[in-house]
A and B are shown apart, each in its own frame.
Chain A
Amino acid sequence: MHKTWLIIKREYLSRVKKRSFIIVTLLVPVLVVIFFGIMAFLAVGGSSEVNQVGVLDNSGVFTHNLHNGNNIFFHYVSGETPDHFRLHYQSEGYTGALCIPMFKINQPKGFTYYGKTQLGLDADTYISGQLDSVLESKRMQLAGISPGILKSIKADINLITITGEDQKEGSVLVAFLVGYGSGFLIYFSMIFFGMMTMRGVMEEKTNRIAEVIISSVRPFQLMMGKIIGIAGVGLTQFFIWIVVVLILINGALAVLPGLAVHAGHLQSIHAPAHTPGNNQIAMQIHQVLNSNINFTLVIGGFLFYFLFGYLMYAALFAAVGSCVDQDAAESQALILPITLPILMSFLIMFNAIQHPNSALAIGASIFPLSSPLVMIARIPFGVPWTQLAVSAVLLIGGFIMTTWLAGKIYRTGILLYGKKVTLKEMAKWLRRRN
């Protein structure tokens, strides 16, 4: 086995020392964090547009009743006709003119906003919301309902989910994100490292060194050395990513509470009927940290399913790689039978996240070809130990089987040059004795 170790060492080092590896490994988490950062920033309100709205209220209902928002300021204008105002609001120093006519309380019509350009969605929603809110208050007043009674009627229930035997608080949203995230990560990495394995296996053929190496080591040793070496590269990359992301998150946590409060504040302004201080988002982040998601299980499961899922599929990628001789087009056709199950598992995973305990989800999380993707998505929602155990054992069995099959194809394919290999021929090699 010393020889296999030599091969593993060589495959691992030759890839890890490459500049491209270092760049990708460090760049990706940075890009991901920047991406989410931008998303968060935009959501929270990165608009610097300031709206100075001149309100010409001929109904009298809204004057001095509209609340100023983050970037929207209401100024009340009088002594002008709407026709004059809508043409001269700019010269009077406003960015927009809100003309409110007299209207019947049950038929609000004719509310018009004049602006140089179309109102942004945020501003539009805000202004409409403000108008609605004031009108509602007026109507209630006319109906005899005081604001105090109104507040006590409005409902605002925050549902807390408690699951599992330890009755810990959970958040469906978080489970969804973690399940989806891990599933996606495994899908992406299985394809990525699977292709890397295939190209790695082709290395001996494209460099024409296959015979020399095979005269010194058994083909099976070479194949396993490559697969394990590349698995090592993958694990190293993930490890570095996790470390980098944790560092970045710790840095962001200082900024995050501030962001959360800010977001919650905005939310309460957009829906003034709700009491302020009802910070949904902040609460949910609080839930993540105390949630019933067993992170050790998630990370442990992720590592196990990534490793054995990769090993199982990598053997198949290696088998294909040994039959292809440089032509990328050739390989596409042979790869299809491998990428298809992976893709299907990915789609099943989506379904499984919505219905984690459906028959499809349970079955697919036990069947070895799909379990790496589906089980990892189910884990955040809680999986019985028996199912986990059976799934794990079958996955290991699957890995042993694909490796055994791949070994037979590899040992013949690796020495073949120039001939185009079909699936039929590969099947023939399976029957040849060692």
Chain B
Amino acid sequence: MNLLELKHLKKYYSSHKAVDDISFSIPQGTIFGLLGPNGAGKTTLLRMITGILFPDSGEICFDGKPFDPMADPMRIGYMPEERGLYKKMKVGEQLLYLGQIKGLPEKETRERIRFWLKKMELTSWTEKKVGDLSKGMQQKVQFISTILHKPKLLILDEPFSGLDPINTNLIKEEIFNLSSQGTTVIFSTHRMEQVEEICESIVLVNLGKKILDGSVKKIKQDFKQQLFVLELPDGYDSVLIQTDIFSIQQKQGNSFKLKLNEGNTTNQILQYFINAGIQVLSFHELLPTVNEIFIRQVEQPISITETSTL
């Protein structure tokens, strides 16, 4: 079942089209990546999902029903890229305030705050002003404020920016935890290596339009360029290896990057070396990284892939 469905969303400003007819769906319980360069329309999209902005046209379906801007934001947790908390307010007080305006009753909020501060090792800072904390600690506090009300949908915009590796890992762990407990996560970022680690499916937007859409595995398959990496023992030179089956793109030490020519199979590559009596140490396909796909699509968009997700 899809937790979120966006249908033909449009948001136009007088100077440009921020969101220009975007549609996609997010299944419940997945970790979903929203990617795109700066100015692509990601923030506008997220603001419409959280009820901060209203679309000029199009529909948003949340949990099977049309989006209710009054009630549904109570079940959504949003951590925007523009990080911020009231600097002059104490940590505990502020978490209580933020929890209460999400509709939580006071007593329960206090219990949850205690729990999370302990988990994030921030208990001793409860009575301190937020401005006194380091940036990493502030971000942890902000993360807590985002999940305090156990949202069904968690939206994180660049959650790891400015965090050291330890805190990054801490938050990542929490994201996986929450996901396994059934929370749906939208993860918006430029950091492609994180996308590969964390996301199951992604959507790529640029200039207000959807460029790509689908599970990470499938997209990689769609964009593969028939490249393979082969490792041979010492002493072999590219010049010695000539065939129609493949061409050698690059040699680095003992690693050869091969491109399989049209109409040939991977087995034929192996067959060639076996026949030539050359020992193959290792062999695997080189799938494009999301980073490469991203750059390729953004710089020279070939086509808008209308693949349906899952």
Contact = CB atoms under 8 A, between A and B. Distances in A.
B97 A10 contact: yes
Contact of A211 (B54, B74, B82): B82
B247 interface: no
Contacts of A214: 52
Contacts of A7: 101
B52 A209 contact: no
Nearest to A208: B84
B86 A207 contact: yes
Interface residues of B, number: 26
B86 A215 contact: no
B55 to A, nearest CB: 13
B217 interface: no
Contacts of A215: 50-52, 73, 76, 78
Interface in B43-101: 47, 50-52, 54, 73-74, 76, 78-80, 82-89, 97-98, 100-101
Contacts of B145: 212
Contact of B83 (A3, A10, A208, A216): A208
Contact of B97 (A6, A207, A208, A211): A6
Contacts of A217: 101
Given A3-B101, A6-B101, A7-B101, A212 B73 contact: no
A3 B74 CA distance: 12
B88 A213 contact: no
Contact of B89 (A6, A14, A417, A434): A14
A207 B80 CA distance: 13
Nearest to B43: A211
Interface string B12-51: 0000000000000000000000000000000000010011
Interface in A233-254: none
Interface in B182-200: none
A185 to B, nearest CB: 29
B104 to A, nearest CB: 11
A10 B94 CA distance: 10
Contacts of A212: 78-80, 84, 98, 142, 145
B83 A213 contact: no
Interface in B209-241: none
B102 interface: yes
A330 interface: no
B92 to A, nearest CB: 14
B85 A216 contact: no
A138 B50 CA distance: 97
Contacts of B88: 14
B87 A211 contact: no
Given A7-B101, A216-B102, A217-B101, A211 B86 contact: no
Interface in B104-150: 142, 145
Interface in A405-433: 415, 417
B82 A213 contact: no
B97 to A, nearest CB: 6
B84 A207 contact: yes
A255 to B, nearest CB: 43
A427 to B, nearest CB: 13
A415 B81 CA distance: 13
A415 B101 CA distance: 19
A169 interface: no
B80 A216 contact: no
A14 B47 CA distance: 29
Nearest to B97: A10
B278 to A, nearest CB: 59
A284 B143 CA distance: 67
A434 B83 CA distance: 26
A213 B101 contact: yes
A415 B52 contact: yes
Interface in A189-219: 203, 207-217
A417 B82 contact: yes
A217 B71 CA distance: 10
9 contacts: A3-B101, A14-B88, A208-B84, A211-B47, A211-B80, A215-B52, A215-B76, A215-B78, A216-B73
Q: Which 8 A-B pairs have the closest CB atoms?
A: A208-B84, A209-B84, A211-B80, A216-B101, A215-B78, A215-B50, A207-B84, A208-B82
Interface of A: 3, 6-7, 10, 14, 203, 207-217, 415, 417, 434
Given A207-B85, A207-B86, A212-B78, 6 more contacts: A207-B84, A208-B82, A212-B145, A215-B73, A215-B76, A217-B101
